[in-house]
């Protein structure tokens, strides 16, 4: 079965239909979806979705785009929420966290410093509780790697990876996996397609980032987790291998990247 390692299932684009979206994904062969929190205000929402949908798990974190309006108290709330969630079998990690140096406002010196401070504290939370991290690395791979070398969570995923082969290897050397999704289905995305085709298959996991990064066949429409099998087929085509081989490999890779998923559904 397929696993969507990164989805924003509570996004406003889905309205009141998030559970239907999860059901449709299950019918398409997506056995697990990891719903990402992005700020203190949606911690409860992703947990509630996971409690109601049999194929949904969740992660808790503060996304770098939401750091400007976040307070230091939010980090304390996150640590408390993670501690409380450790007994929840639907809870699988810390995310979405990271750095974003693409949006101009986030590149201003004061905001860069705040982003890095929030990242470091969230990495400490993940390390302290033995949890993987789901990392936002847009235009920030080297800076994220610097912090990961200093504060080492046990595992994680570089989400929507679009760096160099050397940066990819640096993440792999730290025990990380690399997330690929709809972007690699566009023929013009030459670097992402080269990475997907040539990196070790053992380093790759799949994601939709729904409702964003729709694959080529539905772009510019709203992305949904049921598109993951098509994304997996695109990866198989790029690598010149069978879809079953890709599905089985990325399933194993995902359980290594997010170990709590291995026990999901057994409780």
Question: What is the model's pLDDT at position 263?
Answer: 85
Q: Determine the length of the chain.
A: 267
Question: What is the model's pLDDT at position 51?
Answer: 97
Structure-token pair, residue 45: 């929402």
Q: In this structure, what are the phi and psi dihedrals at residue 133, rounded to the nearest 5 degrees?
A: -120, 145
Question: What is the model's pLDDT at position 88?
Answer: 97
Gap between the Cα atoms of 118 and 107, Å rounded: 15
Gap between the Cα atoms of 14 and 94, Å rounded: 23
Structure-token pair, residue 256: 């290594």
Is residue 187 packed enough to be buried (19+ CB in 10 Å), middle (13-18) or exposed (0-12)?
A: exposed
The answer to whether the peptide bond before residue 211 is cis (omega within 30 degrees of 0) is yes
Give the contacts of 109 (CB within 8 A, at least 6 positions apart): none
- Is the pTM higher than 0.75? The answer reads yes
Write the DSSP assignment of 171-222 as a string of letters: HHHTTEEEEE-GGGGSTT-HHHHHHHHHS-GGGEEE---BTSS--TTTTTS-
Question: What is the model's pLDDT at position 265?
Answer: 52
Gap between the Cα atoms of 122 and 221, Å rounded: 33
H-state helical runs in the chain: 18-27, 43-52, 72-85, 109-129, 141-150, 165-173, 190-198, 228-239, 243-257
Q: Longest C-alpha distance within the chain, in Å?
A: 49
Question: What is the model's pLDDT at position 266?
Answer: 46
Handedness of CA 46, 50, 55, 59 (dihedral sign): positive
Q: How many CB atoms lie within 10 A of CB 20?
A: 13
Measuring CA to CA, how many Å separate 83 from each of 40, 121, 139?
A: 15, 15, 31
Question: What is the model's pLDDT at position 267?
Answer: 42
Q: How many CB atoms lie within 10 A of CB 69?
A: 10
Note down pLDDT in tens along the chain; length 267 residues. Answer: 899 999 999 999 999 999 999 999 999 999 999 999 999 999 999 999 999 999 999 999 999 999 999 999 999 999 999 999 999 999 999 999 999 999 999 999 999 999 999 999 999 999 999 999 999 999 999 999 999 999 999 999 999 999 999 999 999 999 999 999 999 999 999 999 999 999 999 999 999 999 999 999 999 999 999 999 999 999 999 999 999 999 999 999 999 999 999 987 544
């Amino acid at each position: 079965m397929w696993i969507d390692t990164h989805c924003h299932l509570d996004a406003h684009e889905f309205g009141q239909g998030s559970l239907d979206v999860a059901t449709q994904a299950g019918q398409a062969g997506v056995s697990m979806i990891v719903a990402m929190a992005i700020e203190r205000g949606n911690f409860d929402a992703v947990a509630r979705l996971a409690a109601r949908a049999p194929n949904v798990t969740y992660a808790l974190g503060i996304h770098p785009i939401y750091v400007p309006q976040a307070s230091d108290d939010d980090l304390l709330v996150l640590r408390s929420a993670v501690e409380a969630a450790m007994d929840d079998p639907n809870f699988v990690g810390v995310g979405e966290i990271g750095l974003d140096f693409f949006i101009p406002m986030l590149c201003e010196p004061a905001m860069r410093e705040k982003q890095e401070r929030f990242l470091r504290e969230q990495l400490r939370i993940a390390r302290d509780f033995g949890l993987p991290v789901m990392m936002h690395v847009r235009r920030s791979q080297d800076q994220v790697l610097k912090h990961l070398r200093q504060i080492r969570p046990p595992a994680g995923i570089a989400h929507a990876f679009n760096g160099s082969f050397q940066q990819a290897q640096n993440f792999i050397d730290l025990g990380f996996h690399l997330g690929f999704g709809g972007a690699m289905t566009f023929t013009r995305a030459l670097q992402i397609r080269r990475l997907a085709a040539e990196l070790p298959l053992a380093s790759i996991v799949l994601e939709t980032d729904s409702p964003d990064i729709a694959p080529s066949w539905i772009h510019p429409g709203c992305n949904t987790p049921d598109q993951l099998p098509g994304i997996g087929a695109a990866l198989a085509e790029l690598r010149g291998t069978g879809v079953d081989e890709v599905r089985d490999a990325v399933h194993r890779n995902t359980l290594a990247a997010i170990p709590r998923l291995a026990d999901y559904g057994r409780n």
